[in-house]
Chains A and B, each alone.
Chain A
Amino acid sequence: MLSIDRSIVEAIVAHARRDHPDEACGVVAGPVGGDTPTRHIPMDNAARSMTFYEFDSMEQLRVWREMDDRDEEPVVIYHSHTATEAYPSRTDVAFAGEPGAHYVLVSTREPDTEEIRSFRIVDGVVTEEPVRIVDAGVDPHAVQSYMFGQSPATVDYECSGS
């Protein structure tokens, strides 16, 4: 299960829309061991391609060192597919080199709706996981006495297969 703040999801989608029809890519860093993505880092797609993405190696070195200095790790590594579904391609699986990361895919093939899915990719095996989008803007303590009849502050996008 990936729990991620709605504002970060919106920033990822905005990035993917901005770069469409090229693929967009980036990282969401979070404290080591916490499994919580907190700091969105949009990366350049050095391939500038509609069907391929690749971090610029020098930008990656800088960002990875910065995470190291801040005791962070890449909790989420995301990219967009701009004409196909949000499911890891064989290329994605071949390259997946961060076994601890959530691989998030966004499909921007539909102009009005986005498909956002998350996967673990370890030793070539893809496992889809649910994405739980959290509204951090809603302080659970502040609204406690007003919860009756309200919609929940979190939405589970249940995905098949996991």
Chain B
Amino acid sequence: MAIEVRIPTILRSYTGGAKVVEGAGDTLNDLLTDLDSRHAGLKARLVTDAGALHRFVNVYVNDEDVRFLGALDAKLSDGDSVTVLPAVAGGAFGFAAAAAISQHRAATAAFSQRRATAASVAARRAAVAPR
């Protein structure tokens, strides 16, 4: 069962320079494990030690951000196309402070629906991560 995976420039050192690789798996996590068997180290760049999707990357299944599809539990089917992009973010705020705030927001947002507020992006990303 083949799933096409598009790899961004920064991670092509793991794929021998290939822009597109193929893999298999019923979920995103399975797919990344399968890819890691041939492209050792790739999964660690996408998934944190705690087992959550890394904040520095965006992963899409077809046209949808996997953070809205269950993140690493997102279901995959043969013929799906997975795209990995580096998340583009930053800003004047110190990283430690930004991380603390996003965790606080995640805790707050866990009890409410996703809202289109200034806080929502960072919060909902953390909020959907597996505990």
Q: Mark B1-34, 1 if CB is under 8 A from A, else 0.
A: 0000000111000000000000000000000000
**Does B103 interact with chain A (Cβ within 8 Å)?**
no
Of the candidate stretches B36-44, B60-68, B71-79, B107-115, the one touching chain A is B60-68
Contact with B along A95-133 (1 / 0, CB 8 A): 111111000000000000000000000000000000000
**Complex contact A54–B122 (CB within 8 A):** yes
Complexed CA–CA distance, A96 and B89 (Å): 8
CA distance A73 to B12 in the complex (A): 15
B98 within 8 A of A: yes
Question: Which residues 46-67 of A have a CB within 8 angstroms of B?
Answer: 46-58, 60-61, 64
Cβ A95 vs Cβ B58 within 8 A: no
A49 adjacent to B9 (CB under 8 Å): no
User: Which one of B92, B93, B94, B121 has the greatest number of beta carbons of chain A within 10 Å?
Assistant: B92
Chain B residues within 8 Å of A94, by CB: 56, 90, 95
User: What are the residues of chain B within 8 A of A50 when measuring CB–CB?
Assistant: 92
How many B residues are at the interface, by size bracket? 20 to 34
A68-84 near B? 1/0 per residue, CB < 8 Å: 00000100010101111
Interface of B is mostly: mixed
Interface residue? B88 (CB, 8 A): yes
C-alpha gap A88/B57 in the complex (Å): 19
The residue that A97 contacts in the complex, of B57, B60, B65, with Cβ under 8 A, is B57
Cβ A55 vs Cβ B118 within 8 A: no
Q: Are B94 and A89 in contact (CB under 8 A)?
A: yes
Complex Cα distance, B9 from A98, in Å, reads 7
Q: Is the CB of A54 within 8 A of B10?
A: no
Known contacts A83-B92, A98-B9; decide if A46 and B121 are in contact (CB<8 Å). Answer: yes
Beta-carbon contact of A49 and B91 below 8 Å: yes
Find chain B residues with CB under 8 A from A52 CB: 89-93, 98, 122
How far is A55 from B65 in the complex, measured between Cα atoms in Å? 13
| A/B interface sample: 21 pairs, CB < 8 A | A23-B91, A43-B88, A47-B122, A50-B92, A51-B98, A52-B98, A52-B122, A53-B90, A53-B91, A60-B88, A61-B65, A89-B90, A89-B93, A89-B94, A90-B94, A90-B96, A91-B92, A92-B90, A92-B91, A94-B90, A95-B89
Q: Apart from A60-B58, A60-B88, A64-B85, what 11 extra A-B contacts exist at CB < 8 Å?
A: A49-B91, A49-B118, A53-B90, A54-B89, A90-B94, A91-B95, A92-B91, A95-B89, A97-B10, A97-B88, A99-B9
B residues with a Cβ closer than 8 A to A are 8-10, 56-58, 60, 63, 65, 67, 83, 85-96, 98, 118, 121-122
Nearest first, the 5 A-B pairs at minimum CB distance are A97-B86, A92-B90, A51-B93, A52-B91, A54-B89
